[in-house]
Amino acid sequence: MAQELNKDYRHVLPIQIRFNDVDKFGHVNNTIYFQFYDTAKTEYFASVCKNVDWERVAIVVVKIESEFFSQIKGADHIAARTRAVKVGNKSLHLEQDIIDVDTNEIKCRCFSIMVLYDLVNHQSMAFPDEWRQDIYRYEGIE
């Protein structure tokens, strides 16, 4: 498998592996990877979309897929990379992966589709133009 560099990912978040993330076999359980991705998504939105009223708006995962390439061990140094690959009217498509920061080996890759949800009116909502522009600017999309 060809190695990727961080050049395509502007958002890279170091992840600390906790003691209870590691199972009795010495590797991170695959269910924990989704917690790593959630942590990185949260930081991505906090970094990119500055004016979000989280009391009124939620970002909900409606589809998620993951491919596991190599195990993560408890002593590994890892980071989660996140990028927006498509912004629809009401949806955002994210690609994420977890890499070993010492070797740049991709351990796992995740694709997710997320929608905005209006917590007041209890319905999906369109992406505000301000957020769309923030994401385009951050990702270098013309």
- pLDDT digit string, tens, across residues 38-93: 999 999 999 998 888 888 999 999 999 999 999 999 999 999 999 999 999 999 99
Please name every residue paired with 116 in a beta bridge, in sequence order, or none if there are none.
Answer: 59, 125
User: d(Cα 44, Cα 135) in Å, to the nearest integer?
Assistant: 10
Placement of tokens 């906090």 in the chain = 46
Average pLDDT over residues 123-134: 91
Which pLDDT band, with edges at 50, 70 and 90, does 8 fall under? confident
- Per the listing, tokens 């740049």 go with 104
Residue 1 inside a domain? The answer is: no
The CATH number of the domain holding residue 130 is: 3.10.129.10
Residue 90 lies in a domain: yes
Residue 97 is assigned to a structural domain of this protein: yes
Q: Give the residue numbers spanning the domain of 108.
A: 6-139
Q: How many domains does the chain have?
A: 1
Is the predicted pLDDT of residue 123 greater than 90, yes or no?
A: yes
> Residue 1 — pLDDT band, cuts 50, 70, 90?
very low
What pLDDT band is residue 7 in, cutting at 50, 70 and 90? Answer: low
Q: Give the per-residue pLDDT at 6.
A: 39
Is residue 51 situated within a structural domain?
Answer: yes
Instruction: State the residue for tokens 């957020």.
Output: 131
CA-to-CA distance for 96 and 108, rounded, in angstroms? Answer: 8
CA distance 50 to 46: 6
Does residue 109 form part of some domain?
Answer: yes
The percent of residues in the chain predicted with pLDDT above 90, rounded, is: 81
What is the pairing mode between strands 78-87 and 123-125? unpaired
Q: Tell me whether residue 101 is in a domain.
A: yes
Measured CA to CA, the distance from residue 75 to residue 67 in angstroms comes to: 22
CA distance 39 to 14: 10
